[in-house]
Copies of this chain bind each other. A is one copy, B any other.
Amino acid sequence: MVDQIPTFEGPVCPLPLKNETTIVMGHGSGGLMTHNLIQEVFQAHFQNSFIKAGNDFANTPIPDTNPNGRLSISTDGHIISPIFFPGGDIGRLAICGTVNDISMSGSTPLYITASFILEEGLQITDLERIAFSMQKTAEEAGVEIVAGDTKVVEKGKGDGIFISTTGIGWLPNNVEIRGDLAQPGDVILVSGTIGDHGIAVLSARGDLGFETDLKSDVAPLNQLIQSLIETIPEIHVLRDPTRGGLATTLNEIARQSNVGLMIYDEMIPVNSTVQSACEMLGFDPLYVANEGKVVVILSKEYKEKALEIMRLNDHGKNAAFIGEVVPIHPGHVVLRTSFGTTRMLEMMSGEMLPRIC
């Protein structure tokens, strides 16, 4: 206990508060500079009553009062380099990544939180561009960014900006879609060309050695998925093939469901630029990251209907049938080539393209 507080002439380190052009350590202090940053950058873009209330929490209504409904919760860190790339940026990626993770359970994504870890020296105009992109993407997906947090690390202890997003969605009673529900006889569909995101980011890094007009596929898939769920009663598995690519995602499903997955090489849609880049670099597009694609596994009878629904959506216009769930090789993925030969597709083991998401 103390009798007297020492003389104190005001807060320590009074730094200039406005008209900053780069992030300084004071923006992470929790004091006035943090408040100004939040107000001028985040509150200006993330416009909803939860953010405006200025609390450390958002109290949100739930969309349904059915006692058997469930919340769907997912989180993801985003460390992509560079932070701007053809077709998107780290902000759009952060919203889409989380919206898509929530959607893969068949849930309707509702709320998003965003935690920013900024490196001292980040251009504030870059931060604004990212905040704007996040809000635009949230509107496109129909979700609200309801809470946020900002921390700042010293130059050399971070890399511009990292964003961790968490999504909260609502899962109606009658929907059961999970990685362990694939059954022999089911068909495997993918919503479009694979590997676009990974190769677009490599291109932005200047690693391709040639110019392309390829864009990342980064997109929110919740509306495409909602149309599928509304029409088709028997969707068993939905999963987005992000880091590790299609091959890794299929391996995860094969393990979770303890079934074999047989996929047909010549049926897998690949953009010709992605194909050329992969041949040149020695990559396999099956292991290259996507950020706007979904693998759909469902009863054979709904194959054509599902393809039709996906192709009506902008993010699903190249949707294709790529294989089947089989009772042999449980836990494994088998690739069949157009020559009739087969080989096991393993899960990616090391790191192919670091900092891709």
The chain A residues found within 8 Å of chain B, CB to CB, are 1-6, 8, 10-15, 17, 24-26, 28-35, 53-62, 65-67, 69-79, 101-102, 104-105, 107, 111, 113-117, 146-154, 156-159, 162, 164, 166, 168-169, 171, 178-180, 239, 242-244, 247-248, 252, 256, 265-266, 268-270, 272, 275, 278-279, 282-287, 289, 335, 337-338, 346-352, 354-355, 357
Contacts and interface: CB of A to CB of B under 8 A. Distances in A.
B56 A104 contact: yes
A1 B267 CA distance: 8
B101 A72 contact: no
B59 A171 contact: yes
Given A15-B349, A26-B350, A60-B71, A168 B171 contact: no
B33 A349 contact: yes
Contacts of A102: 57
Contacts of A14: 349-350
Given A164-B115, A354-B154, A76 B149 contact: yes
A71 B54 contact: no
B5 A265 contact: yes
Contacts of A256: 54
A25 B351 contact: yes
A340 B242 CA distance: 64
Nearest to A176: B59
Contacts of A15: 349-351
A151 B79 contact: yes
A73 B283 CA distance: 41
Nearest to A36: B349
Shortest Cβ-Cβ A-B pairs, 3 listed: A30-B243, A31-B348, A13-B350
Given A29-B350, A31-B350, A65-B65, A157 B158 contact: yes
A114 to B, nearest CB: 7
A70 B146 CA distance: 13
Contacts of A114: 75
B57 A104 contact: yes
Nearest to A350: B13
A223 to B, nearest CB: 18
27 contacts: A1-B269, A2-B268, A2-B285, A6-B278, A6-B279, A8-B286, A11-B346, A11-B347, A12-B282, A25-B351, A26-B349, A28-B355, A29-B350, A31-B244, A31-B347, A33-B349, A53-B180, A56-B101, A57-B104, A59-B70, A59-B71, A65-B67, A77-B117, A78-B151, A79-B117, A147-B166, A156-B156
A71 to B, nearest CB: 5
A31 B284 contact: no
Nearest to A105: B57
